[in-house]
Amino acid sequence: MFKEHLGRTMEVYKLVKSECLIDYVKHLKQSFDILRHYKMKLNTKKCSFSVRAGKFLGYMVTRREIEASPEQIKAIIDLKSPKNVKEMQKLTGRVAALNRNLS
């Protein structure tokens, strides 16, 4: 469905999650069926299966939650204190973006 745009103006990322292995296999099959229906292919070099936790698009994904990666947290901790209004706006924008991505 996005064939004309993939790789040029659009990328698609897929994360399949499940509570248990039986559901995981079922959910993977559903995902592959959808991909097959739309004649979409996966780049096998970028695929990982049965990962319990790991980094995905800059976030740490665990079986319990999606959270900021240690690099993101360090970047915010290491930010210098704002010295003027423009720097303060930049800081609050970064913090707001991080909060949106985590919720």
Write out pLDDT tens, residues 30-85. Answer: 888 988 888 888 888 878 777 777 777 777 777 777 777 788 778 778 878 888 99
User: What is the rounded CA–CA span in Å between residue 43 and residue 67?
Assistant: 25
pLDDT in tens, 10-32: 666 677 777 788 888 898 888 88
The pLDDT score that the predictor gives to residue 102 is: 57
Structure tokens at 32: 């592959």
pLDDT score for 12: 66
Distance, CA of 100 to CA of 56 (rounded, Å)? 16
Gap between the Cα atoms of 6 and 26, Å rounded: 26
